Amino acid sequence: MTETTQEATATRGTRRVMEGVVVSDRGDKTLVVQVERTTRHALYHKILRKRKKYHVHDEANQAKTGDKVEIMGTRPLSKLKRWRLVRIIEKAAQA
């Protein structure tokens, strides 16, 4: 039984993993995480910073605003949530 489970996981492939900063934790079991990536402009070759926000499922409500987190793609959990919290990389500095 475990062999077939491991084979199914291997054939499904790896899930997308990203790092970002929590910008909102106001929803119950929901975070909004901003992920920043860099890209090069096609014509002028300037390095640009692109930002995108993702709604993330946090079952234990453990991440807070300002924390650096790792998220992973998952099946649709609600209208907007397609990501789940993997771990908290760095806690936010308290003011």
Cβ 21 vs Cβ 54: under 8 Å? no
Whole-number Å distance between alpha carbons of 62 and 87: 10
Tokens of 72: 């992973």
Label the pairing between strands 30-40 and 68-73.
Answer: unpaired
pTM metric for this prediction: 0.81
Tokens of 71: 């998220």
> Average pLDDT by consecutive 10-residue portion of the chain (95 residues)?
59 86 96 97 97 97 96 96 96 81
